[in-house]
Amino acid sequence: MARVGLYPGSFDPITVGHIDIIQRALTIVDHLVVAIGKSATKSPLFKLEERLAMIEEEIGPMAAARSVRLDVTSFDSLLVDAARQHDARIIIRGLRTAADFEYEAQMTAMNRTMAPEIETVFLPASPEVGFVSSTLVRQIAGMGGSVEKFVPTSVLNKIIALK
Catalytic residues: 18, 42, 96, 134
Q: Give the separation between CA 70 and CA 149, rounded to whole angstroms.
A: 26
Which residue, 20 or 58, is less far from ligand ADP as judged by CB?
A: 20
Q: How many residues does the chain have?
A: 163
Residue in the shown chain whose Cβ atom is closest to ligand ADP: 17
Residue 163 burial by CB count (10 A; 0-12/13-18/19+): exposed, middle or buried? exposed
Nearest distance from residue 39's CB to ligand ADP, in Å?
12
Nearest distance from residue 92's CB to ligand ADP, in Å?
8
List residues binding ligand ADP (CB under 6 A). Answer: 9-11, 15, 17-18, 20-21, 93-94, 96, 100, 125, 129-130, 132-135
Q: Give the separation between CA 67 and CA 26, rounded to whole angstroms.
A: 9
CA angle 23-111-67, nearest 5°? 25
The three-state secondary structure class of 132 is coil
Nearest distance from residue 80's CB to ligand ADP, in Å?
15
CA angle 123-127-131, nearest 5°? 90
Nearest distance from residue 48's CB to ligand ADP, in Å?
13
Structural element, H or E, at residue 120: strand 119-124
Which residue, 28 or 130, is less far from ligand ADP as judged by CB?
A: 130
CA angle 20-99-74, nearest 5°? 50
Which residue, 63 or 132, is less far from ligand ADP as judged by CB?
A: 132
Which residue, 57 or 100, is less far from ligand ADP as judged by CB?
A: 100
